[in-house]
Structure 1
Amino acid sequence: MNVPARANPRPQPSEMPRGLALLRDPLLNKGTAFTEQERDALGLRGFLPAHVFSMQTQVERVMANLRELPNDLAKYVALNELHDRNEALFFRVVCDNIDEIQPLIYTPTVGLACQRFGYIFQRPRGLFIAACDRGRIAELLANWPYSTKLIVVTDGERILGLGDLGANGMGIPVGKLSLYSACAGIHPELCLPVVLDVGTNNEALLNDPYYIGMRQRRLSGAAYDEFVDEFVTAARETFPGVMIQFEDFANHSAFRLLHKYRDIIPVFNDDIQGTAAVALAGLFSALRVTGGKLADQTVLFLGAGEAATGIADLIVSAMMAEGLTEAEAVRRNWLVDSRGLVVKDRAGLTEHKLRYAHDQAPIEHFLAAINTLKPTAIIGVAAVGGAFTPEVLQTMAGLNERPIVFALSNPTSKAECSAEEAYRHTGGRALFACGSPFDPVKLDGKTFVPRQGNNSYIFPGVGLGATACGARLVTDEMFMVAAHALAQLVSQEDLAQGSLYPALPRIREVSARIAEAVAVVAYNSGLATGHAPNDMAAFIHSKMYDPQY
């Protein structure tokens, strides 16, 4: 459904900026697509070449130029320039070419962009709120010129699998919110990217003359918590009802902040809950191939941080829904960290690992843990590139007719194995999902099409559903129904070619269906504003931005 290009009604010609001022407003600029009548009415004569181009021709021109660029970072920069120049055209390009563009504006290219952020920074997009701004965060938020319903915020301490990138992490909330608009139709004017610049412990950045952030060690302890709390309080007062997504916080902050706020305001952590939902959906899809039940699976995680425990927690809930007790379900999920298998007798376990610390003799190596526990599924979320070795994959294939292998770490350099390795070392029997994109694999006359277990299948739809109905909280039940909705959209044709997720060009359909399911949960739980609409699908679609002039 087409809606105006702005969240509020588009200004009348008499109210709009004119001439160069109009061409420099990315929310109103159409470039060479301004009509003859608009050029006369808006003082654009002489500023534009004579020919009037259609939006479709503009899209084709952008793509032709993009494909001529030498590398993905150059393409990332070019797309940012387009975003800053003509927002509607940027989102039209993304929507119409999502397979090609998503890896450029988000994973894996965004990781490199964050590493090089000080070198490629051009124009501000979002807000940088620094530790030196304590006491006046509300004032900074009031500078933002648009009504906001959704904030994605990071402190830059754990950017993808790359670690502490400080204020350079701004690329992550910018990329996430671009996907909210492209994949789920949340209007870009309703979206605010934020970096909480609390310093960095990355020596290379502290010594980098082009680093854009504060040149100091990270805030910690009470000072850090007070700073974050001031931000959350100011955001809620400045933008009543705003939903806040925490993104790429380190484990020690991520769990604490989620538990602190989740029962009082609409907040979620995509690394914990979004990752969990997309992984669970992949398991549901894999079990359609094997014919097994989730409650009968044994899942071994390589990694014991926010992604691993978030996935395990949602799996436990899903297993309990199939009849297991909590203790039985927890026992079917195991974690391996840098010190080996997480077991109960190990000293010094952090709180988030304790639930999955089972009675078991210590096991140092991942392969030994596989041989002992005989898992049906392994899930890599430790950002240890190549950790799923040929021996690991061959052992899984020896234990299972159809081993489930999820190499979910990103960027690509951190992937536990490639798609080609997963299929080759299991004789084409692996049910594989990845965190970074891989090309189709030909093996023994068959072509496998691996698809990313990318959070972009989940968080845009959850955000759309929650904001559309004014949800007062974001609950685990919402992520559970999102996982089921995503899995139900995987076709038999998808499964036959090894794809555990729908094709990415269907992402707006996927997001709309997830949003419907989330909104139903919100209304049924008494967490939504007003009464549930009679036609939920129509209600959700009425909220979706379609980038058109």
Structure 2
Amino acid sequence: MEVRSTVGVGSREDLSMAYTPGVARVCTAIAEQPELARHYTWIPNVVAVVTDGTAVLGLGDIGPAAAMPVMEGKAVLFKSFGGVDAVPICLDTTDVEEIIETVARLAPSFGGINLEDISAPRCFEIEDRLKERLDIPVFHDDQHGTAVVALAALQNALKLTGRDPATTRVVISGAGAAGVAVAKILLEAGIRDLAVTDRKGVLHSSRGDLTPVKRALAVLTADQTGRSGSLADVLEGADVYIGVSGGTVPEEDVARMAPESIIFGLANPDPEVHPDVAHKYARIVATGRSDFPNQINNVLAFPGIFRGAFDVHATAITEGMKLAAATALADLVGDDLSEELIVPSPFDPRVGPAVSGAVAEAARRDGVARL
């Protein structure tokens, strides 16, 4: 990574414009009209990629220093796939209050905040409180990037198998950051029969061990259908399995799913259901890996989402913007839709513009656009 100027500084005149005395004119103008910072600085095109290093990839809590390579990689993807500048920031604290306060104090230097690899359940509170406090987009990609791409893939998988979201039975294993976000976006998209499981089984309100986040999700999911029990119990007859938990689902449980089922095993590097096993029973299989078809890759979503939000100077990223991003991704597949192609390639040059355009339009509809 590097930072480069967009203009040359090759003469005394250039220097006087880039720094003193010319730069003072810009400072004075912004002091008088703070909103001019969105026009005369890099702020409207730069995102802070912020982590505390507690949930890095599949590596877990490896700390802020070891997390830096992932944050740098994220910044490179922002630039390569969305034309968005990004600065990786690794915080040497895991305290919720300290993280919120630090990010809030840094916020005037950025057009948006991308939270990354912060462990659950702290990530939920951090994101929610920063969204309340700041007037720029705040987005936890481990939650919402995964959810957007998973929904896009599921929309196309349902189309291929002739299923209606309202009557499709879905099981999600994993109630961490990604699992909660995937569940919420599926509900927004019309899924009605949804069970979410953690290590102790289905989330339902009669359980006394649920966190506030899990309890709220239980009310929206299993409490509506009356489902309970273990993952194996709810997989029987299920149309869709989405794994965001790690671990392994026994083959005998997979075999009890509905005919022409859909299996997304998204844990990396080892999917909850290996594709070789999944293909014995499922019509459509997706993973988080690049060496199998149908990779559910967040890079399909987050660069375009921020690009679209920045293009209209959005104050937030709404549920409508996320749904629009998912639909735009699903629609890009078009006539190429098949069991081996339910989401576009990250290298499809249409992805970024399609997602950003849909997100910008949704931001205007939802009333969060300033342009």
Quick one: structure 1 residues 346 and 183, their matched pair in 2 at CA, closer, same or farther if it must change by over 3 Å?
Answer: same
Q: What SS does structure 2 have at the residue aligned with 1:262?
A: helix
Residue from 202, 205, 230 that aligns with 1:344? 205
Matched, 1:498 2:340: yes
Structure 1: where are the runs of 5+ without partners?
A: 17-144, 199-218, 321-328, 440-449, 531-549
Q: Hey, what does 1:153 align to over in structure 2?
A: 50
How far apart, in 2, do the equivalents of 1:499 and 1:15 lie? 56
RMSD: 2.5
Matched, 1:250 2:119: yes
Deviations 1:484-526 (A, max 9, x none): 000001133341x5221112320x3111111011111222333
Q: What SS does structure 1 have at the residue aligned with 2:189?
A: helix
Displacement after TM superposition at 1:229 (Å) = 2.7
Q: Hey, what does 1:319 align to over in structure 2?
A: 190
Matched, 1:181 2:79: yes
Q: What SS does structure 2 have at the residue aligned with 1:249?
A: coil
Matched, 1:479 2:322: yes
Matched, 1:432 2:285: yes
Residue from 291, 301, 304 that aligns with 1:461? 304
- Does structure 1 conserve the Cα–Cα contact (< 8 Å) formed by 2:81 and 2:352? yes
- Does structure 2 conserve the Cα–Cα contact (< 8 Å) formed by 1:466 and 1:518? yes
In the TM superposition, what are the counterparts of 1:134-283 in structure 2 within 5 Å?
A: 149-167=46-64, 168-186=66-84, 190-198=85-93, 219=94, 224-239=95-110, 242-263=111-132, 264-265=134-135, 266-283=137-154
Displacement after TM superposition at 1:175 (Å) = 1.4
Q: Hey, what does 1:527 align to over in structure 2?
A: 368
Q: Hey, what does 2:30 align to over in structure 1?
A: none
In the TM superposition, what are the counterparts of 1:113-152 in structure 2 within 5 Å?
A: 149-152=46-49
Residue from 233, 239, 258 that aligns with 1:376? 239
Q: Hey, what does 2:172 align to over in structure 1?
A: 301
Matched, 1:10 2:7: yes
Which AA in structure 2 matches 1:476? E
Deviations 1:269-324 (A, max 9, x none): 1111111111111110101201221111111011111111111111111117xxxx
Quick one: structure 1 residues 308 and 361, their matched pair in 2 at CA, closer, same or farther if it must change by over 3 Å?
Answer: closer
Matched, 1:515 2:353: no
Which AA in structure 1 matches 2:72? V
Deviations 1:167-187 (A, max 9, x none): 21112221111111111222x
Which AA in structure 1 matches 2:145? G
Q: Hey, what does 1:91 align to over in structure 2?
A: none
Displacement after TM superposition at 1:362 (Å) = 4.9
Deviations 1:6-61 (A, max 9, x none): 87533054479xxxxxxxxxxxxxxxxxxxxxxxxxxxxxxxxxxxxxxxxxxxxx
How far apart, in 1, do the equivalents of 2:115 and 2:109 lie? 18
How far apart, in 2, do the equivalents of 1:489 and 1:362 lie? 37
How far apart, in 1, do the equivalents of 2:310 and 2:129 lie? 21
Which AA in structure 2 matches 1:10? V
Q: TM-score with structure 2 length normalisation? A: 0.83
- Does structure 2 conserve the Cα–Cα contact (< 8 Å) formed by 1:156 and 1:248? yes
In the TM superposition, what are the counterparts of 1:287-298 in structure 2 within 5 Å?
A: 287-298=158-169
Matched, 1:392 2:253: yes
Which AA in structure 1 matches 2:370? T
- Does structure 2 conserve the Cα–Cα contact (< 8 Å) formed by 1:432 and 1:500? no
Which AA in structure 2 matches 1:157? T
Q: What SS does structure 2 have at the residue aligned with 1:313?
A: helix
How far apart, in 2, do the equivalents of 1:352 and 1:170 lie? 29
- Does structure 2 conserve the Cα–Cα contact (< 8 Å) formed by 1:273 and 1:310? yes
How far apart, in 1, do the equivalents of 2:10 and 2:3 lie? 14
- Does structure 1 conserve the Cα–Cα contact (< 8 Å) formed by 2:100 and 2:126? no
Quick one: structure 1 residues 458 and 238, their matched pair in 2 at CA, closer, same or farther if it must change by over 3 Å?
Answer: closer
How far apart, in 1, do the equivalents of 2:227 and 2:113 lie? 41
Q: Which has the larger radius of gyration?
A: 1
Q: What SS does structure 2 have at the residue aligned with 1:489?
A: helix
How far apart, in 1, do the equivalents of 2:364 and 2:187 lie? 25
Q: What SS does structure 2 have at the residue aligned with 1:406?
A: strand
Deviations 1:336-379 (A, max 9, x none): 11112222211121111113433547524x223312xx211000
- Does structure 1 conserve the Cα–Cα contact (< 8 Å) formed by 2:100 and 2:129? no
Which AA in structure 2 matches 1:490? V
- Does structure 2 conserve the Cα–Cα contact (< 8 Å) formed by 1:157 and 1:249? yes
Matched, 1:421 2:298: no
Structure 2: where are the runs of 5+ without partners?
A: 14-40
How far apart, in 2, do the equivalents of 1:252 and 1:393 lie? 29
Q: What SS does structure 2 have at the residue aligned with 1:453?
A: coil
Quick one: structure 1 residues 6 and 368, their matched pair in 2 at CA, closer, same or farther if it must change by over 3 Å?
Answer: closer
Residue from 367, 370, 373 that aligns with 2:232? 367
